[in-house]
Structure formats: structure tokens, C-alpha cells
Amino acid sequence: MTGREQNWWGRRMLGGGLAVAVLVVVAACTGPAEPRVPTEAATMAPTESAAPAAAPRPTLDGGQVVATGTLAGDVAGTVTITATGDDGFGVRIDDLETELDGTLSAYLSTEPFVPGEYCASRRAGLHGFGDFTPAPTYSFALGGFGHGDSSWPDPAYLDDVVLTRSGAPLEDCFYAVAAVAPLTWTMPDMRPGLVVTDAGSTGGARGNVELSDGVPIDYAVADDDRLAEIAARFGITLDDLLYLNPARLVPGDDPALAYVGEVLNLDPANR
């Protein structure tokens, strides 16, 4: 797919198969600029890049703990995320204690959230999982997290569990944050053997590459680039590229479009 330059309004958002609503929270109050609109050529069907066969996928057993965290703020409690055994995940908050009245709302964040920062004044990457009345234990399901054409679940790019307060928002706040639990993930590598190498510029992948110790870690999309050709340049599939960028922000509904000026992650450790 090709992209035509236009104003880019965000950092990145969920790509692929997240089946959750997207909200956004960071510490500034500026609104997004007008999004880029891909050219007609950008809407052409991508050609899947050739790549070696993937290594066997690790198996997650039902009940296997994949992440933990501890709430800090006006709500105390411990967070555990477990695999369900069917490509899903469950979140459980235990020993929940608070003196706040009213309901709380549960979110997971695609960006690190600063514990103790109780005013969310602009929209950043939060995914909502409903409201609940405080009780000693609260649980909710994450569902499957596929990316691109893959059903391989891997929500380990989510950074925090965030609880917000109900009622009237604080001045200049979208959300009044009650507590944050930074997550420590213990999931195995769900895409083993994913190695990125740069074969050099091609007609549909002419952007600049950032290296770390000689290894590509970022790619800046250039005019007339196509995602499938970008993937082929680095010896991976289009699905691999979407997996590496699960929180991409795209102006339209098609995550398989390339947009001039966006920076694509190429480092599996930084997805």
C-alpha cells in the first residue's frame, strides 16, 4: 500500500485485531491534527512478502500467569493477568481496598502511565473494560489479541492497569485517575525466530532506517512506500510488521496502509 503525505496526528495505536474500544490519555491538552489520507495507489491490495517459515508458537496453558502488578494511588490491590488456554486472557484484581465512593473504570494502557499523576488531561492510549463497584476481588476478560492475519495472542505491549474515578471530572481532565499498576510481563516470546535484516532501499521502501549496533530498530515511512514492500525489505512478512507495531495510530480503518512520516518499530523488544 502507498501513502501520500499529510498531517500525522498521533504516535501509534492498536494495530491488527484488538477487539476493544480505544481511548487516549497523556499529560497535555492539545487536539489531534487532520489525519493523512492515503492516495488511490495506497489502497491497492498489498503483496505479502516472502519470509522463512515461522518457528513453532509457544503454548500458553490455562491459568498460566503472564503478568503481575500492584496498584498505587487511591486504590490498593494486586493485579494478575493469566492465559485462559484459548488465546484469551483474564485480569484479576485481588485485595482491592479504597475509600472512594462510586464506581471505578478499568483500563489497560499502551503507554507507561506515571503513578501519582491523577489528572488525565488529554487522550492517550487507554483501552476500556467497563465500570465496576469496588469489591475485594474484581475480574474481567481481555479476549484474544491477534495482529494482522495472525491469531497469535500477545498483549505484552500493554504497560499498565489504570483505574479511574466516576463522577464529574476534575478541571481540565478527561479522567480522574484513581490508581495505576505498572505491569511486569513474564510471557514467552510469542513469535520466536523473528529477525530483521535490511536488504536495502527498494521502490516501495525508500525510507530512512535507524540502527542500533548495526541492527535496524526503526523505519521512517517515505512517500510512495508500501507496507508489504517495507516488510520485504527487512526479510519479514506484512503480518510480522503489524505484530511489531500493535499500537500504531492510523487515520483510517485499514492498518495495512503506510503513511508518510510515521515511524515503524522493527525491534521485537520494543513493540
What tens digit of pLDDT does each residue of 103-139 get? 999 999 888 877 666 766 555 577 888 899 999 999 9
Residue 125 grid cell: 492510549
For the ranges 78-87, 153-162, 242-251, which has the lowest average pLDDT?
A: 242-251
Question: What is the per-residue pLDDT for 142?
Answer: 86
Paired strand residues for 108: 127, 161
Query: Contact 110/159 with Cβ under 8 angstroms?
Result: yes
pLDDT at 96: 98
Q: What is the mean pLDDT of residues 81-100?
A: 93
Please state the φ and ψ torsions of residue 82, each to the nearest 5 degrees: -125, 155
**Which of 78-92, 136-150, 217-231 has the weakest average pLDDT?**
136-150
- pLDDT of residue 6 exceeding 70, the answer is no
* CATH 2.60.40 for domain 65-185: yes
What is the mean pLDDT of the segment spanning 74-91? 93
Considering only 118-127, 134-143, 188-197, 244-253, which range has the smallest mean pLDDT? Answer: 118-127
Q: How far apart are CA 158 and CA 156, in angstroms?
A: 5
Mean of per-residue pLDDT scores for the chain: 78
- Closest listed residue to residue 123, CA positions, set 196, 32, 257, 7: 32
Quote the cell numbers at residue 6.
Answer: 499529510
Proportion of the chain above pLDDT 90, given as a percent: 48
Least confident of 26-30, 78-82, 224-228: 26-30
Q: Report the Cα 22 to chain-centroid distance in Å.
A: 10
Domain locations in the chain? 65-185
Which residues face 243 on adjacent strands? none
Most confident of the following: 9-23, 82-96, 249-263:
82-96
Helices (H) and strands (E) in the chain, counts: 2, 16
User: pTM of the prediction?
Assistant: 0.72
Q: What is the pLDDT of residue 212?
A: 95
